[in-house]
Amino acid sequence: MRFIDEAIVTVKAGDGGNGIASFRREKYVPRGGPDGGDGGTGGDVYVIAVDNTNTLVDYRYTRRYDAMRGENGHSRNCSGKGSDDIFLSVPIGTTIIDTETDEVIGDLTELEQTLLIAKGGDGGLGNTHFKSSTNQAPRKATSGFEGELKVLKFELKVVADVGLIGLPNAGKSTFIRQVSAATPKVADYPFTTLVPNLGVVDIGRHRSFVMADIPGLIEGASEGAGLGIRFLKHVARTRRLLHIVDVQPIDGSDPVDNARIIFNELKRFSPELANLPQILILNKIDQVIDEDELNELCTHIVAELNWTGVVFRTSTLMGEGTDAVKYHLMNEIELEREREEEDSDFADAQKARFERLEVEVRLNTEAQREAYRAARRAQREGTDLPDDDSFDDEGFDDDDDVEVVYAP
């Protein structure tokens, strides 16, 4: 199965049926008069959020959806039958964007939330409407109105309370396996995770939150290196970022430098995203045998980063320290939810922040996509590409869709 988080779809609402010009013809009714009925209304096109899919793969293969037109009017003042509406199912978290105006038509963040995306045309008028004292036998009828035709972009962002970020092999997939029922692939090589993974963290009765494992970032990701920022947009809806750092990387790199790489990529991609509340996870502490050495190493990392926020030490492989993290997250999320319900000003501020984040993420993603396409066009035309690695072949598809295949 393919994970598709963007798709370009053409939708055409149904045209209205035509009105007709008809006259009543019955025995003993010598002057029956006009009796032409109106045309039926064309079908509307809606999108509806469902929870039985987490990809837009269906819209990769079928890119146009047309609603039926309304029936023409009938004699005896009978209107034509209106056409049925059509409903397009999309995952929760899908944003609908008009490609012509770049306007966000709607954002589906709740189960069974429905949005009208193309309005069907009204039916034409039969000649009955044109009858008057001076024109008792009108032969005029009008055609139905055309339904709306739109080219839309469906953009999926996973809906999660907590987003896991960090370099490849930092332990993000192992962490989400420990605290939830999610089963992402885990291996000892980078970029094991190629698509976002969602897991529900169940704390107890009526206490749970959703966590998203975002594919690993690397230095230069905001400019297209590695997987680029293809999936970074998926943390735009989260309340917290869980930054996982390997305290003793197997490649001998400095964990402080590794953490700074992620900080810098977040800031370059979206300053608003970098300002989300973050929690630092010092992971793989089981690799340091000596307790004093471990304390010294963790203290050094925190001091070098000038970190003043919450810090946890974990061994995701052994399950050590993960319970403390998930209980802390649950308490923080519950407090934030309660405050949003009780304090309308805080709720409005939160909503405004996420709206700014949505806009910033979308604009930055589109800017990188356009830069990549320009570079590919230049390459095809035989001109020189930039000297840096900003536009490797793993950045974006040359199509309008982004496609990633699930790891086997």
Was 191 annotated as part of a binding site? yes
Say if strands 207-213 and 197-204 run parallel, antiparallel, or are unpaired. antiparallel
Was 269 annotated as part of a binding site? no
Alpha helices in 270-318 (DSSP H): 271-274, 291-304
- Structure tokens belonging to residue 43: 């079908």
Dist CA 211 CA 203 (whole Å): 13
Count of domains observed in the chain? 2
Was 70 annotated as part of a binding site? no
| 212 and 361 share one domain | yes
Dist CA 312 CA 265 (whole Å): 22
In a domain, 398, yes or no: no
Was 397 annotated as part of a binding site? no
Was 196 annotated as part of a binding site? no
In a domain, 365, yes or no: yes
Was 53 annotated as part of a binding site? no
Was 170 annotated as part of a binding site? yes
Was 226 annotated as part of a binding site? no
Was 308 annotated as part of a binding site? no
| 135 and 169 share one domain | no
Was 238 annotated as part of a binding site? no
| 150 and 196 share one domain | no
In a domain, 27, yes or no: no
In a domain, 395, yes or no: no
Dist CA 191 CA 182 (whole Å): 17
| 306 and 282 share one domain | yes
In a domain, 25, yes or no: no
Was 101 annotated as part of a binding site? no
| 202 and 341 share one domain | yes
| 167 and 127 share one domain | no
Dist CA 212 CA 322 (whole Å): 15
Was 402 annotated as part of a binding site? no
| 334 and 186 share one domain | yes
Was 214 annotated as part of a binding site? yes
In a domain, 403, yes or no: no
| 15 and 147 share one domain | yes
In a domain, 141, yes or no: yes
| 339 and 191 share one domain | yes
Domain end call among 140, 156, 172: 156
CATH of the domain at 166: 3.40.50.300
Was 125 annotated as part of a binding site? no
Was 285 annotated as part of a binding site? yes
- Structure tokens belonging to residue 240: 């917290």
CATH of the domain at 71: 2.70.210.12
Reference 61, options 408, 401, 406, 407; nearest CA is 401
Q: What pLDDT score was predicted for residue 238?
A: 80
Going 170 to 172 to 173 to 179, the CA torsion angle's sign is positive
H-helix or E-strand containing 98?
strand 94-98
Dist CA 106 CA 304 (whole Å): 43
Specify the 3-state DSSP secondary structure of 353: helix
> What is the phi/psi pair of residue 136, to 5°?
-85, -5
Structural domain boundaries enclosing 94: 2-20+32-156
| 14 and 117 share one domain | yes
pLDDT tens over the chain, length 408 residues: 455 678 899 999 999 999 999 988 887 877 778 999 999 999 999 999 988 776 787 887 889 999 999 999 998 889 999 999 999 999 888 889 998 888 889 888 888 899 999 999 999 999 999 998 888 889 899 999 999 999 999 988 776 788 888 887 788 888 888 887 655 444 444 444 445 667 778 887 778 888 877 765 545 444 544 444 555 666 667 888 889 999 888 888 899 998 898 888 788 777 777 888 889 999 988 888 788 888 999 999 999 999 988 999 998 888 888 889 989 999 998 898 888 888 889 888 888 887 777 777 767 666 666 665 676 677 777 655 454 444 443 334 434 333 333 232
Domain end call among 156, 174, 193: 156
Q: What pLDDT score was predicted for residue 11?
A: 95
Q: What pLDDT score was predicted for residue 318?
A: 84
Going 327 to 328 to 333 to 335, the CA torsion angle's sign is positive
| 327 and 288 share one domain | yes
* DSSP at 223: G
Was 192 annotated as part of a binding site? yes
| 149 and 184 share one domain | no
Was 193 annotated as part of a binding site? yes
In a domain, 397, yes or no: no
Was 208 annotated as part of a binding site? no
